[in-house]
Amino acid sequence: MNDDSPPSTHRRMARWIIALLLLAALAAAAGFGWRSWQAQQRLAERSRAVADQQLAALQQTVEALRRDQRANARGLQDVAATHRVLRDEVLGLGQRNALLEQNVARLADHSRQGAQAVRREEAELLLSQAQQRLAYAGDLDGARHLYALAAGVLESMDSPGYLNLRQALLQERTAIDALGPGVRARTAARLTQWAAALDSLPQQSGDAAAGDARPTWWQQMLSPLVQIRPADPQVLVARSERIAAGDALQIELSLARAALERGDTDGWRQALQRVDGWLLRLWPDSPQRRSQRHTLAELRGVDLRIALPELGSTLQQLRGMRDGKVAP
């Protein structure tokens, strides 16, 4: 019996050691699992916090866009009201022109001095209308027609004192004819072409397109599971963000067209500056995007006002002649 005791004791000790090792392994695994679970919980909480922050920022951006859209709508309504007032004024001036024509018909038998005074008033009215067409509406065709009518009125006045006046009117008409269709019409056509060219911009950068054209073997193996592409941190990726950004871009283009219609150079440049910002957010860097930005910078530098040194010189001389500052 004494011979059997040591092996039994060794076996019991071995079993206790194995049990202790198993308990230690289980405790280590439980500790590792607990730390992993806590790390996953912290990561999930951070992800939720980041998502909440992004959602709040997006909501603030959408609300700001809505406020801007409402402000722009009110601005457009004000512009429309101003245009209606100007149209009423032009109609009133047209009625006054008709009355002047009637007065000319009644004064046909009067003295030559009275007839010239009436023609001078008619020419002044036509020149004033032409200047208002250019200053408020940028209507070059209407202004050219009014200048032609004023030239016809001045041609019927054979007094030598009107020779300088006719020469000044000829110089003014030549300067206006040199403008062609006008800076607003040309700029509107260029803006339309620029907006149409946005559809042809690549959605990926040149490096990404080259990588998609010649995928490597490991990309082919991982393509069913993972799509690998280089990312520009400025370019929006989420579909909802791109839709909102596209709507904002269209709103800014509408604001630019409205500023172009009313000849607001500052509003035009500010709207195109915001369009450039959305262009960077919607499309990655490429030669096409750089070309679009260069064209946009050229459009932003256009001055919408008609600045001619000859503009209004004939009307100023005619009013001076009426007030007696210039001898007829």
| pLDDT tens-digit series, residues 78-136 | 888 888 888 888 888 878 888 888 777 666 555 566 667 777 777 778 777 777 777 66
Range of the domain at 207: 183-300
Residue 170 confidence class, pLDDT cut points 50, 70, 90: confident
Other CB atoms within 10 Å distance of the CB of residue 204: 17
In this model, does residue 228 exceed pLDDT 50?
no
Residue 9 confidence class, pLDDT cut points 50, 70, 90: confident
222 and 162 in a common domain:
no
Q: Using one digit for the tens of pLDDT, what is the confidence trace for 31-53?
A: 888 888 888 888 888 888 888 88
* DSSP code per residue over 196-207: HGGGGS-SS-HH
Q: Distance between CA atoms of 262 and 300, rounded to whole angstroms? A: 16
201 and 129 in a common domain:
no
Q: Distance between CA atoms of 253 and 255, rounded to whole angstroms? A: 5
Is position 96 within any domain?
A: no
Q: Which two tokens stand for residue 10?
A: 């060794």
Is position 100 within any domain?
A: no
Other CB atoms within 10 Å distance of the CB of residue 221: 11
CB 246 within 8 A of CB 203: no
Q: Distance between CA atoms of 54 and 254, rounded to whole angstroms? A: 28
Run of H or E including 101:
helix 5-106
Other CB atoms within 10 Å distance of the CB of residue 37: 10
Percent of the chain with pLDDT over 90: 0
Is position 48 within any domain?
A: no
Which position has the higher pLDDT, 13 or 117? 13
Report CA-CA distances (Å) from 128 to 147, 167, 179, 278, 305.
10, 18, 19, 43, 18
pTM of the model: 0.44
Which position has the higher pLDDT, 60 or 175? 60
Which position has the higher pLDDT, 33 or 262? 33
Which position has the higher pLDDT, 154 or 274? 274
262 and 220 in a common domain:
yes
**Rounded mean pLDDT of the chain?**
76
Q: Please tell me the predicted confidence (pLDDT) of residue 233.
A: 60
Give the mean model confidence (pLDDT) for residues 202-231: 54
241 and 292 in a common domain:
yes
Residue 210 confidence class, pLDDT cut points 50, 70, 90: very low
170 and 114 in a common domain:
yes
For the chain, the domain total comes to: 2
316 and 284 in a common domain:
no
Give the mean model confidence (pLDDT) for residues 305-325: 66
288 and 188 in a common domain:
yes
292 and 187 in a common domain:
yes
197 and 277 in a common domain:
yes
Residue 327 confidence class, pLDDT cut points 50, 70, 90: very low
Which position has the higher pLDDT, 151 or 298? 298
CB 268 within 8 A of CB 256: yes
280 and 195 in a common domain:
yes
Q: Using one digit for the tens of pLDDT, what is the confidence trace for 288-303?
A: 888 888 988 888 887 7
Which position has the higher pLDDT, 327 or 147? 147
Is position 173 within any domain?
A: yes
Is position 92 within any domain?
A: no
Q: Distance between CA atoms of 195 and 192, rounded to whole angstroms? A: 5
Q: Please tell me the predicted confidence (pLDDT) of residue 122.
A: 77
255 and 116 in a common domain:
no
Is position 60 within any domain?
A: no
Is position 188 within any domain?
A: yes
Q: Distance between CA atoms of 255 and 115, rounded to whole angstroms? A: 49
161-175, 235-249, 282-296: which is most confident: 282-296
188 and 172 in a common domain:
no
Is position 285 within any domain?
A: yes
Q: Using one digit for the tens of pLDDT, what is the confidence trace for 129-145?
A: 777 777 666 666 677 78
Residue 308 confidence class, pLDDT cut points 50, 70, 90: low
Q: Please tell me the predicted confidence (pLDDT) of residue 269.
A: 84
